[in-house]
Amino acid sequence: MTTPANRNSERDDAMSVLVEALEAFAAAIEVAGGICYSDTGIPDLVCDPAWSDLGYAYLGACIALGRTPMATVQGEEAAEKVEDEELAEAVEEDTPLTLPLEPEEGDLVTDDRVRFYEVGRNWGPFHKAQRPTLAITDRQDWRQVVREHQDQEQLWGNVWEYTPDSGYQLLDLTGD
């Protein structure tokens, strides 16, 4: 018979396995040299720059583990393009990363992945009455348009989706 104590024990066991897997993944990335931000501003693997999606996964693992990522910044433009000032400070000061819980000024927010509003400029309770910072057409890939907009504005803040049920969710600009 399954009791609440058994369920908690099973959940704790599963969490232990997940933490061990994240630690093993992070350790493997670090053995291979960690990540490096080049002038693209993307966290590439030092061992193979073509695997930037693993760079993002590594950063996510570091956030979940409260671990300081092994990251370097190469090139003058790269220092400006590192997506998160907190990451740059964390690497420099050897402190753990934390995941933001809600948008900050300069971040983009959407509630439909078509219209994007900038926090501190036109996002708020009456945002629907205002002109969005960025509008996506049917034929455009919203991720590509947002990245191009960030490059043009030279602002690489986070991108969030807001729903009344779930609140703010951080969006990934690299995946599908």
| Token output for 114 | 């078509």
> Is the distance from CB of 21 to CB of 60 less than 8 angstroms?
no
Q: What is the value of pTM for the model shown?
A: 0.46
Average pLDDT on 5-20 reads 75
CA 25 to each of CA 30, 46, 65: distance values in angstroms, whole numbers, following the listed order: 9, 15, 11
Answer yes or no: is 45 within a domain: yes
**Half-sphere exposure of residue 65: CA atoms within 13 angstroms, side-chain side:** 21
Mean pLDDT score across all residues of the chain: 76
Label residue 93 by pLDDT band (50, 70, 90): low
DSSP 129: G
Label residue 2 by pLDDT band (50, 70, 90): low
b (16+ CB within 10 A) / e for 66-97: ebbbbbebeeeebeebbbeeebbebbeeeeeb
Answer yes or no: is 67 within a domain: yes
Is 94 a residue whose pLDDT tops 60? no
More reliable by pLDDT, 83 or 143: 143
Same structural domain, 56 and 28 = yes
Question: Where a domain ends, among 63, 93, 123?
Answer: 93
Is 38 a residue whose pLDDT tops 80? no
Domain count, the chain: 2
Same structural domain, 117 and 82 = no
User: Structural domain of residue 123, as residue ranges?
Assistant: 108-170
